[in-house]
Amino acid sequence: MTRHTMSSGLLNPVGSDAGGAVITAFLVFVAVCLLWVFTLAAQDENPERLYTAGRSLSPVFNGFAMAGEQISVVSLFATTGAVALFGYDGFATAVDSAVALAVLLLLAQRIRRSGRYTLGGLFTLRASGQGLRTAAAVVTLVITIPLLVIQLRAGGISAALLIGKSSSAAQIACTVLMGGLIVCFAAVADLKGTSLLQVVKVPVTLLVLAVVALLSLRKMEWDPGVLLETAARNSVDPEGFLAPGLWAHTAGLGSLNTVSDHVVVVLGTAMLPHLILRVSASSTPHTARRSVSVATGLVGAFFLLLITTGFAAAAVVGSKDIASVDPNGQAAPVLLAAGVLGYGSDPRIVLITVMACVAFMAVLTGVTSISFAAAVSLTHDVFARAGRSRTDQGEVRVLRSVVVGLCVLCLSLSVAVHRQPVEFLVTFSLSVAAACVFPVLVYSFFWEGFNRRGLLWSVYGGLFLCAVLTFFSPTVSGTSYAVWPDVDFSWYPYHSPGLVAVPAAFVLGWLGSNASGGDTRGAFRRALSRDVGR
């Protein structure tokens, strides 16, 4: 691959031949997307229909939209980069993300049958009270804010790379500009309008990745074995590239760390609030399960292509060149798209431009979906029940205000921490979802003795353990990839808290429920009778 250097001395990952055309086409695409969004802006002032698209989405349509929820800018760029730089370790992370929807598949029918679409609603299946909804809102925010910060940061980095810039200042500027556009989108979007973009994004993304993968295989004489051999040879560690332990986050931490990471990624991804909201948009419990089944197949294909693209990037570009642009490997898809076709050719420019458009759609839909689900939770579970009566129009206005406020807050945080190694926040968010949501849903659906005290112990206990264990883990201090690498106050030896926090949350839920009485069966039947017809 020919490397191109900008006047600042930084590597230009795109090349001067494509820069102007990519920027022009990218801006046109952004304008079209925003015009489309404002055209589709919801006019419905009924909150319930706004939150769940009137529960009118067909199984296939909702399945494609659900798959789109998994195609985020983080998965698109960071996962590919992890495979390109760390081989087997990145591959294992991608596989975990691909199988996560299988967990949601087991609970989809029960979630839809409950009639609830926020964590606050699901948390009150076995008991009632504002305290439970407040706990759900806290968990939703703790999950959502770190994810939004990382999504916006990754979106800015990828946008800068795709327009041929790799400096920190350019990345921050792109983060602010893209964040501003996304705030405008999120301010008018609803679940149905976002779903349309998600559905369009899925086939376009799969097609682009497939084209890049096929062009890469063509360079390797259409032999996957040659591609893997070349990827290993061009990696930073040819002997260890296809074996566990190359990634610093996993090296030397043992098999229990690997188990902990698997638990967090699989369970946490399945329990994210925006996926639960998506399940609730199905018309019936049966169609909810069908939607998740469709999404599972599409997401499997997406991650298979991501894995192929990651190994192809290592083979065609080389791990050292990828790391020279971005140490986390997020430049891998861009560099691969720029390297599989001849410099100066029109197809190369088209491929890079389409990759830029896919990246924008990924960050646009990802941030909007996550912020919308969080705003629905706060509006429906907290503000709408604060004792002050509001009309439907008033509740919708509150929703819009919360979405904008949340996006602005996360955009500000994203800029503030741009130069910090805060990738661990994704693991923290998934850990909270795995420890605070998964045990509660399992107990709520399958154990008649689960009650208010058990839920609060499980949620707050799991949240406390996730926060403490993450803070005292190698991701925060004492390692080369930590927030504070020069000091070491870590005593928890693993990368993620899931190995301790998830079992502890189950135990706390059981202990708390057995420490107090109460007729949870009657509360559960009353909850279902109120909501099953929704």
pLDDT band at 11 (very low <50, low <70, confident <90, very high): low
More confident residue, 49 or 387: 49
Give the mean pLDDT of 458-464.
96
Specify the pLDDT at position 2.
38
Helices (H), 234-345: 254-270, 273-280, 285-316, 319-325, 332-339
Specify the pLDDT at position 42.
56
Report if pTM > 0.85.
yes
Give the mean pLDDT of 171-176.
86
Give the whole-angstrom CA distance, residue 419 versus residue 497: 25
Give the mean pLDDT of 225-251.
81
pLDDT band at 388 (very low <50, low <70, confident <90, very high): low
What do you get for the CA distance between the two ends of the chain, in Å?
57
Give the whole-angstrom CA distance, residue 125 versus residue 111: 11
Examine residue 3 and state whether it is found in any structural domain, yes or no: no
Question: Which residues 6+ apart lie within 8 Å of 310 measured at CB?
Answer: 79, 80, 81, 82, 83, 84, 90, 91, 94, 332
Examine residue 296 and state whether it is found in any structural domain, yes or no: yes
Specify the pLDDT at position 73.
85
Specify the pLDDT at position 45.
67
**pLDDT tens across 174-211, in order?**
888 888 888 887 877 777 778 888 898 999 999 999 99
Tokens coding 273: 């609030």
Residue type, 46: N
Most confident of 12-21, 41-50, 61-70, 123-132: 61-70
Tokens coding 340: 């599989």
- At 5, give phi and psi (nearest 5°): -110, 135
Give the whole-angstrom CA distance, residue 469 versus residue 481: 17
Cβ atoms < 10 Å from Cβ of 200? 17
Examine residue 343 and state whether it is found in any structural domain, yes or no: yes
Q: Is residue 430's pLDDT more than 90?
A: yes
**pLDDT tens across 354-382, in order?**
888 888 888 888 888 999 999 989 888 88
Examine residue 5 and state whether it is found in any structural domain, yes or no: no
**pLDDT tens across 339-359, in order?**
887 766 778 878 888 888 888
Give the mean pLDDT of 235-244.
84
Q: Is residue 428's pLDDT more than 70?
A: yes
Residue 171's CATH number? 1.20.1730.10
Total domains, the chain: 1
**pLDDT tens across 250-282, in order?**
545 567 888 888 899 999 999 999 999 999 888
Mean pLDDT of the chain: 83
Helix (H) or strand (E) holding 523: helix 520-531
Domain that holds residue 166: 10-385+392-532
Examine residue 1 and state whether it is found in any structural domain, yes or no: no
Residue type, 98: A
Give the whole-angstrom CA distance, residue 169 versus residue 155: 14
For residues 179 and 407, the answer to whether their CB atoms sit within 8 Å is yes
